[in-house]
Structure formats: structure tokens, C-alpha cells
Chain A
């Protein structure tokens, strides 16, 4: 909402972006469902554009315990370039994890269970981020590559959504995402921190997407 004038999206562009994201997340849900063998629905009730420094305040508002989060970070590079952050409350992360029980077996002889839970969440986050971002890129006729995902320490999480690998100005597309599984509802947030130039490209690509419907 407070984005500089040249990068603000019109009502129509915002709707188009929301549409694009909902379509890509539908595909992502199918991907998740195939791996865990259960019905999954991913819906995006809210799409916002903001500055990276606004994320911390947003998280403070949305999470009852912002110091206790599970965050997976993954950089992506294509014409659209940035960092994706998948954020769950600790409890949400645990509920998500419980859906994958059995699919991933753990060996606790060398690592603590907490540590392996983080590794597992990182792998799940990798799938969720990869499926969502790839599908979004594909709809915008782009293909992206990725760096390996990282789990961010919970206490450090709120201050660390800057996409530090990318210099200069960046913008955040915030997606409040609801993951609905057959039994448990897990809601999480996906932040896409995009570099300045890729936001301009994104705006053009959204325009072309809208023209395709005209």
C-alpha cells in the first residue's frame, strides 16, 4: 500500500495477481497432496504489497507469539528474482509436520529430535515454496532456479526478512495462505521479497496476463 508510485498496483492488477496466485497455489496443492497422499487445499484470502521493513510489524500483529515461529527461507532466481519466506507459528509448524509423519523417518542417534523436525519442515517448506513460486513464474512465462532452503532460528525470525542476497530496494508480496488438509487446518504465511527490477518485470507480466483476457 505504501509502495512507491511507479510500483503500486492498480485494483485490476491486484486482482489479476491474486488470480495468478490462486491458480498457481491450486497446482501447488496438488503437488503437496501427491507427496503426502492426502487431500490438500491451498487458498490465498489476502494479497498485499509492502516494504520489507513492514513485515516485522505485520508478523507482530498476526502471530500471538512472534518470537516462536518456524520460518523457511529460499532464494529464487529467474526474471522474477527474490527470496521466499514461509512462516508458521511453532504450533502450526508442528501440525504440518504431523501430516508427514511416517513419510520421513528420522535417526536420532546423531541429531536431536528438535533439529530433525527443523530439517523436515525445511524439506516441506522447500516443496511448498518451490511449487508456489514455480507455478507463479510459469504463468508469467518465466522459469526460476533456486538455492537450497534454510531454516531460520525462531527468535531471530522477525528481523530477518530482508532478502539480504539482493542489493538495493525490494518489495514484498505478502500472501496469507491457508493450508487446508483433510483433518487439520494449518495456516501459514508466504512472503515473496522481490528485487526492484523484478517487480517492474512482474508489473509488465501482470499487464500481459490481463491483456490475454481482454
Chain B
């Protein structure tokens, strides 16, 4: 194949191609790069890359390029870790999550006729659309459609993860499980639409009570679970008490009526007697049952194991 074809291929391919010499000067900048950067090749070729893009001058990027130059391996930069290399505008609609183009990049060596590595090439692929889909699907697979809280599957995944983290680093981990009291009566009296409205409102209230690192999940019909990393029993109990009061003090308005609901709450902290994520859920479920049995609208935690 002649060189004329190669020139057409690199300027037509839907991939950014940049050639850098060992001093990080730009040797080649294909049309894809010109289009997305807004910089024509004439204004870029011969320039030091870091004068054009100072944000690329990080130890990791420089180190990666240097090792490719030295050893001739291929380096793949994961979009999931780096998001992007070149700060280009998002080519999709602006309402999309990020204002940057998401990129999957690889860096590989270029050799002269004697096989010596004399430059590196960076290939940039626009994966913005794929990333947007992936994030949307991930979010959907984790979210309860009615309340916007996490769903049970995501809760169970996170509890297992946090349990493993606890086992490794011995950090405290607490769980709150709560249930709307007499919710069947609310549904029977005011209808399911009203019940749904209350579930949404309670989820929003509790969500506003939690920290960003906590997770609220819809565990069952009217049952919710909060996962509280880095939280020991005492602050978890205080938080549970706050949730109980906030829910009780909230008036729900539906169909011209004003409705108040209460919650019963179980609290549990992970300790050495609990050997699995499922066992932790069992302990907190027992505590919730205790709160129900003792008359509802209250917080229960298993007795302190003592010193």
C-alpha cells in the first residue's frame, strides 16, 4: 500500500492520532484531533505538548510515555480510571452528565527503519456515548424506580463489599432497617397511589438525613435499609432516632387529606460474632422485629455485648 493511502486513512479514521517526539513535541496531529480540539495541525505541530495542554503534564502521563519510549510496550489508559486525556468538549448534547468527551486511549511506540524507538503515538477514541449508556444502565440497575433509593440488589452488593472492607481494615459498620408502621392500613384507607406518594416522601426525608457516604435502599414493600460505613452503634442509634422523629413530624397531603406515618427501626453494628453480610442483616431484622413487638414508632438495637 502506498504512502498516499496511509495519509488518507489517518485523516479519515474516527480516532485521534498524535505523534510525540521524546521531548514531548507534537510531530503529527490528525484531522480528528484538529476537529475536536479546535486547533488546526499547523498551530500544533512543532509545539511542546505541555505548552498547549498543561493539564497533561502529570507524573503518571509523563512516566507512562517515557516507559513506552524506553521499553516499547503498549500502554492502555482506562476510561473508567482516567475519564479522558485531552480536555475536549463533549460531542453529545450538553444536557449529558459530563461537559468533557470521555476517552479511551492507548500509547504505543514508533520505530525507525533500524527498529529504534524514536517517537510515540497516542490514539484517542471517543467513548462518550458508551460511557453515558453505561452510567445510565448502571444507575437503573441499582435504583428503585418508585422511590429513587437504591434497590435491594445494590444494597446486598454494597453490604458484601463493606463487610469485606470491615474484615480487612476493622472499620466500624452499622445498619439501620426500618419499616412504615401499619402501612397496609394506609393503602387500604387512602389507596395505593397515596401509599406510593408516602413511600416517596419518606425516602426523600430519610435520604436528606443521611450523609453522602451512607446508602439508603428500599429493602421490601415498605421496608428500607440504611448502610452506614465508618459508623459505630451509638451514632447509628442517634441517626435512627433522628429518622424516627423526622418521619413522625412529616405531614403527607394527598387527596385533600393530611396523613402522618411512623416507623419502627432496628439498628445493628458489625462485631466479631457476625461472620457474614447475611448474618448482619439477620441481626438488624431481629432488632426491627423487637421494635415492632414493643409497640412500634421506636428504635431497637441488640443488647451491647459488653467488654
Contacts and interface: CB of A to CB of B under 8 A. Distances in A.
Partners in one complex: yes
Interface of A: 27-28, 30-31, 34-35, 37, 103-104, 106-107, 110-116, 119-120, 122-123, 126-127, 129-131, 133-135, 138, 143, 145-146, 148-149
A103 B66 CA distance: 16
A126 B76 contact: yes
B60 A104 contact: yes
B71 interface: yes
B110 to A, nearest CB: 11
Residue among A27, A116, A126, A135 with the highest chain B CB neighbour number at 10 A: A126
Contacts of B59: 37, 103
Interface string B143-156: 00000000000000
A133 B71 CA distance: 10
B60 A103 contact: yes
A28 B115 CA distance: 19
Nearest to A27: B71
Given A107-B83, A110-B135, A111-B80, A138 B73 contact: no
Among B60, B74, B80, B83, find the residue whose CB has the most chain A CB atoms closer than 10 A: B74
Contacts of A145: 74, 108
Counting chain B residues whose Cβ lies within 8 A of the other chain, the interface size class is: 20 to 34
A158 B156 CA distance: 27
Contacts of A115: 80
A114 B157 CA distance: 11
Given A37-B59, A112-B161, A148-B106, A31 B70 contact: yes
B4 interface: no
What 4 A-B pairs have minimum CB-CB distances, sorted nearest first?
Answer: A130-B73, A35-B63, A31-B67, A146-B74
- A-side interface mostly: helix
Contacts of B238: none
B77 interface: yes
A106 B81 contact: yes
Given A31-B67, A34-B66, A119-B78, A127 B157 contact: no
Interface string B240-257: 000000000000000000
Interface in B196-244: none
B161 A113 contact: yes
A130 B60 contact: no
Nearest to A115: B80
A192 to B, nearest CB: 14
Nearest to B139: A110
A179 to B, nearest CB: 16
B76 A148 contact: yes
Contacts of B135: 110
Most buried by B among A103, A116, A127: A127
Contacts of A30: 70
Interface in B7-42: none
B130 interface: no
A35 B78 contact: no
Contact of A110 (B67, B108, B138, B161): B138
A130 B161 contact: no
Contacts of B106: 148
Given A27-B71, A112-B158, A119-B81, 20 more contacts: A31-B67, A34-B66, A35-B63, A35-B67, A106-B81, A107-B83, A111-B138, A112-B161, A114-B161, A119-B80, A127-B73, A130-B71, A130-B74, A131-B67, A131-B71, A133-B73, A134-B71, A134-B72, A134-B73, A146-B73
B276 interface: no
B75 interface: yes
Given A35-B64, A127-B75, A116 B115 contact: no
A120 B157 CA distance: 20
B81 A123 contact: yes
Given A123-B76, A123-B81, A130-B74, A143 B111 contact: yes
Contacts of A107: 83
Contacts of A116: 80-81
Most buried by A among B76, B106, B135: B76
B71 A31 contact: yes
B80 to A, nearest CB: 5
B81 A112 contact: no
A110 B131 CA distance: 10
A149 B108 CA distance: 14
B63 A34 contact: yes
B81 to A, nearest CB: 5
Contacts of B63: 34-35, 37
